[in-house]
């Protein structure tokens, strides 16, 4: 039955009286963007207004179900909207199973996280995954249920509460782009439910798929070629950008939008504070394009943000958009989208890849081009910087910076990829991922310690250089001006896990190299200053502690790239009094310092005028006069 209530009344109706006035204020503040973006997307449908009103009622219910402690957190965060950009914020990313066995085991590792100074924990997918291989949980079978192998919904709520008490915010993936082929929506579609079939992009024959394929890219060209999969039950082709068992959702259907925003807010009510919005670039399909970064994908994210700002304003949205540098800023809603806020945080994958590129080339040209192409951000928004993560280092995001258009650009990136695969006597022990030819690069896999030479080091000097390279890359992530995120095991120098090769369902996906189980024997060495692990751990902790002392290292503080007489050196100024001087080469280089006297924050040594940087050395210089 149609209700006569306005959208606002539908939103407020389920709420207790005490929450209504504030909810109405927030609605008034965000209504224009919310309504306007959804009208752009769905306004052409006859049922748009009733759908919008129903959505408001669902949101009102979710708001009413928000626990008091989280309502309190919302109120606090509204008073300090840039809390996550502080120089004391530090992220850590890991698989639940690899780190703690299950959610309770993760809780037992909180002391380790606190010792490092972690304030933000990204747990890779922990919801019930597809039966069988599930792309590390990225094929979700239920958004309402924790994977029974990892615990229960109650365990999740207990973990988020414990983390919160320890000053750590939990970040969860929200896999927006696709669901598993055994998710209830996919099963219903296979059984002939017409409404559920509309949750997906399906085609009776190859006509449309072939037309789309003409301009689509490939995510896993070797392991999962093509973007469409024929489903025998449906007798139709289904859009599957990633693996064939990951069915892309059809956001042209407003029911999908409602279902996904409700899934997000349901998890937020269990205490998840940050959502890593997986594969955000792919949400909207348009023939004749690569179906990435479409304007509609941004409108969807802006509408989601407006909803979060109304219902759960303490929650953050983080874009996982692994796209070329110029396409990245739009994920903050800063440009070209009518100025509405979008995500709070976005992965800076170009910076990450360019840091590795600089190591391989012993030259910082690419890196400096990326730093120059990184614009200042709107208030209360920040980059996420990192050295490694569970995915490959994707090289194609650097095509813009890799030189003039033409075959030299992919060839240059392919040379970098082959370096990390150990070519020509390189120290790196990694794998080239999904490359389609020798002169094109796709990605590189491997744990940071293996890629920087710790795995191959045969003597003390090689070990020393590998350690320096690890600290160099972490120093970049920590001083760039971002929320830096460590990857599980990198703080201890954990190396590649080759066991995936024996599993037929994983052997073709070398991203498993960088997904080893947490090594407690290395953890035990972290305070042993004679061990490699101990030196790395204390080196990292020193940088983390130094960082948190400097306001100039907060994510939003200004950064300036200083000219350098040697291409191997990156000279990154933060504010007027902090300088990261990093030598990305195996030669000693002499550098001119800016005016004044400086002290290296790590060694305490005072310098001025000219300084000599040994191979792969980094100085974190603080101005003393
Ligand atoms: C993201 C994840 C990656 C996964 C893909 C598909 O890129 O980081 O691991 O394979 O999405 O869900």
DSSP 196-259: HHTTB-EESSSHHHHHHHTT---SSTTTS-SSEEEETTTTEEEE-SSSTTEEEB-TTSHHHHHH
**Residue 2 has what pLDDT?**
58
**Residue 9 has what pLDDT?**
98
What tokens appear for 373 in the block?
């192409």
Centre of ligand 1 to C-alpha 121, Å, is 18
> Which ligand 1 atom is the nearest neighbour of the CA of 135?
10
Centre of ligand 1 to C-alpha 84, Å, is 24
Catalytic residues: 278, 320
Of the chain, the percentage scoring pLDDT greater than 70 comes to 98
**Residue 406 has what pLDDT?**
86
Centre of ligand 1 to C-alpha 138, Å, is 6
**Residue 23 has what pLDDT?**
98
Question: Under a CB-based contact definition with an 8 Å cutoff, are residues 450 and 428 in contact?
Answer: yes
Between CA 411 and CA 420 the distance in angstroms is 14
**Residue 153 has what pLDDT?**
98
pLDDT tops 90 at residue 105: yes
**Residue 334 has what pLDDT?**
60
- The band of 113, judged by pLDDT with boundaries at 50, 70 and 90, is very high
Mean pLDDT, rounded, for 34-55: 97
The pTM score is 0.97
Q: Which residues lie across from 569 on neighbouring strands?
A: 583
Report the candidate in 267, 286, 291 with the shortest Cα–Cα distance to residue 126.
267
Question: Under a CB-based contact definition with an 8 Å cutoff, are residues 115 and 79 in contact?
Answer: no
> Which ligand 1 atom is the nearest neighbour of the CA of 391?
9
- The band of 435, judged by pLDDT with boundaries at 50, 70 and 90, is confident
Is 175 near ligand 1, meaning CB less than 6 Å away? yes
pLDDT in tens, 173-205: 999 999 999 999 999 999 999 999 999 999 999
Nearest alpha carbon, ligand 1 atom 4: 138
Domains of the chain, first to last: 559-623 (2.60.40.1180)
**Residue 339 has what pLDDT?**
75
Mean pLDDT, rounded, for 335-361: 90
Centre of ligand 1 to C-alpha 391, Å, is 7
> Which ligand 1 atom is the nearest neighbour of the CA of 322?
7
> Which ligand 1 atom is the nearest neighbour of the CA of 139?
12
- The band of 338, judged by pLDDT with boundaries at 50, 70 and 90, is low
Is 278 near ligand 1, meaning CB less than 6 Å away? yes
- The band of 434, judged by pLDDT with boundaries at 50, 70 and 90, is confident
Nearest alpha carbon, ligand 1 atom 10: 135
Considering only residues 117 and 379, tell me which one the structure prediction assigns the higher pLDDT.
117
Is 34 near ligand 1, meaning CB less than 6 Å away? no
Buried-exposed string 200-229: b where 16+ CB fall within 10 A, e elsewhere: bbbbeeeebbeebeeebeebbeebbeebbb
Between CA 546 and CA 549 the distance in angstroms is 5
Nearest alpha carbon, ligand 1 atom 9: 391
pLDDT in tens, 459-506: 999 999 999 999 999 999 999 999 999 999 999 999 999 999 999 989
**Residue 405 has what pLDDT?**
86
pLDDT in tens, 496-543: 999 999 999 899 999 999 999 999 999 999 999 999 999 999 999 999
> Which ligand 1 atom is the nearest neighbour of the CA of 390?
9
Q: Measure Cα distances from 265 to 52, 64, 159, 262, 531 in Å.
A: 17, 11, 17, 5, 45
Is 138 near ligand 1, meaning CB less than 6 Å away? yes
Mean pLDDT, rounded, for 95-110: 98
Is 433 near ligand 1, meaning CB less than 6 Å away? no
pLDDT tops 70 at residue 335: no
pLDDT tops 80 at residue 45: yes
pLDDT tops 70 at residue 438: no
Mean pLDDT, rounded, for 83-111: 98
pLDDT tops 60 at residue 143: yes
Is 391 near ligand 1, meaning CB less than 6 Å away? yes
Write down the residue that tokens 């039950």 correspond to: 233
Is 93 near ligand 1, meaning CB less than 6 Å away? no
Centre of ligand 1 to C-alpha 432, Å, is 17
Is 135 near ligand 1, meaning CB less than 6 Å away? yes
Q: Which of 95, 138, 318, 349 maximizes ligand 1 atoms within 8 Å of its Cβ, making it the mutation to test the pocket?
A: 138
**Residue 223 has what pLDDT?**
84
Centre of ligand 1 to C-alpha 91, Å, is 19
Mean pLDDT, rounded, for 390-406: 94
Q: Which residues contact 97 (CB under 8 A, 6 or more apart)?
A: 149, 150
**Residue 436 has what pLDDT?**
61
Q: Kindly compute the dihedral angle of the four CA atoms of residues 4, 6, 10, 11, in this order, to the nearest 10 degrees.
A: 180
Burial of 530 (0-12, 13-18, 19+ CB in 10 A): exposed
Centre of ligand 1 to C-alpha 434, Å, is 14
**Residue 404 has what pLDDT?**
87
What angle is formed at CA 424 by the lines to CA 419 and CA 427, rounded to 5 degrees? 60
> Which ligand 1 atom is the nearest neighbour of the CA of 242?
6
What tokens appear for 343 in the block?
């995500």
Q: Which of 180, 278, 281, 346 maximizes ligand 1 atoms within 8 Å of its Cβ, making it the mutation to test the pocket?
A: 278
Centre of ligand 1 to C-alpha 137, Å, is 9
**Residue 96 has what pLDDT?**
98
> Which ligand 1 atom is the nearest neighbour of the CA of 178?
12
């Amino acid at each position: 039955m149609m209700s006569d209530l306005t959208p606002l009344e539908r939103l407020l109706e389920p709420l207790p009286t005490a929450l209504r006035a504030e909810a109405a204020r927030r609605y008034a503040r965000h209504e224009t963007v919310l309504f306007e973006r959804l009208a752009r997307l769905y306004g052409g449908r006859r049922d748009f207004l009733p759908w919008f009103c129903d959505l408001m009622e669902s949101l009102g219910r979710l708001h009413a179900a928000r626990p008091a402690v989280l309502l309190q957190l919302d109120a606090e965060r509204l008073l300090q909207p840039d809390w996550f950009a502080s120089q004391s914020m530090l992220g850590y990313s890991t698989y639940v199973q690899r780190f703690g066995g299950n959610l309770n085991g993760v809780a037992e590792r909180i002391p380790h996280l606190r010792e490092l100074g972690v304030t933000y924990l990204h747990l890779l997918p922990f919801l019930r995954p597809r039966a069988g291989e599930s792309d590390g949980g990225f094929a979700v079978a239920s958004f309402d249920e924790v994977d029974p192998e990892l615990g229960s919904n109650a365990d999740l709520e207990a973990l988020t509460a414990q983390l919160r008490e320890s000053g750590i915010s939990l970040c969860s993936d929200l896999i927006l782009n696709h669901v598993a082929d055994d998710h209830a929506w996919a099963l219903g579609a296979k059984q002939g439910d017409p409404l559920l079939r509309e949750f997906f992009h399906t085609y009776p024959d190859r006509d449309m798929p072939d037309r789309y394929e003409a301009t689509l890219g490939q995510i896993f060209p070797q392991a999962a070629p093509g973007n469409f999969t024929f489903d025998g039950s449906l007798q139709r082709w289904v859009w599957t950008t990633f693996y064939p068992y990951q069915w892309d959702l059809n956001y042209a259907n407003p029911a999908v939008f409602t279902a996904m925003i409700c899934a997000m807010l349901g998890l937020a009510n269990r205490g998840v504070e940050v959502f890593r919005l997986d594969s955000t670039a792919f949400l909207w399909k348009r023939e004749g394009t690569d179906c990435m970064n479409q304007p509609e994908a941004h409108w969807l994210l802006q509408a989601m943000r407006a909803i979060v700002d109304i219902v759960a304003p303490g929650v953050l949205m983080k874009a996982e958009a692994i796209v070329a540098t110029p396409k990245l800023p739009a994920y903050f809603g800063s440009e070209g989208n009518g100025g509405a806020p979008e995500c709070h945080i976005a992965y800076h994958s170009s910076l990450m890849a360019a840091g590795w590129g600089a190591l391989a080339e012993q030259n910082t040209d690419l890196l400096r081009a990326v730093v120059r192409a990184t614009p200042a951000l709107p208030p209360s928004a920040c980059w996420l910087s990192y050295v490694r993560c569970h995915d490959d280092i994707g090289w194609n995001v650097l095509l813009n910076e890799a030189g003039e258009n033409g075959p030299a650009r992919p060839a240059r990136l392919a040379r970098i990829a082959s370096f990390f695969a150990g070519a020509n006597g390189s120290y790196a022990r990694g794998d080239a991922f999904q490359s389609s030819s020798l002169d094109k690069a796709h990605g590189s896999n491997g744990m940071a310690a293996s890629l920087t030479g710790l795995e191959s080091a045969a003597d003390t000097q090689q070990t020393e250089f590998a350690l320096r390279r690890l600290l160099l890359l972490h120093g970049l992530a920590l001083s760039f001006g971002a929320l830096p995120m460590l990857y599980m095991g990198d703080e201890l120098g954990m190396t590649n896990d080759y066991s995936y090769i024996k599993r037929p369902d994983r052997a073709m996906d070398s991203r498993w190299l960088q997904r080893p189980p947490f090594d407690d024997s290395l953890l035990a060495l972290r305070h042993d200053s004679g061990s490699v692990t101990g030196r790395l751990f204390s080196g990292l902790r020193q940088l983390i502690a130094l960082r948190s002392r400097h306001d100039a290292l907060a994510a939003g503080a200004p950064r300036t790239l200083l000219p350098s007489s040697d291409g191997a050196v990156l000279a990154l100024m933060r504010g007027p009094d902090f300088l990261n001087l990093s030598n990305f080469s195996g030669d000693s280089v002499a550098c001119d310092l800016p005016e004044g006297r400086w002290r290296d924050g790590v060694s305490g040594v005072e310098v001025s005028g000219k300084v000599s940087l040994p191979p792969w050395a980094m100085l974190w210089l603080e101005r003393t006069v």
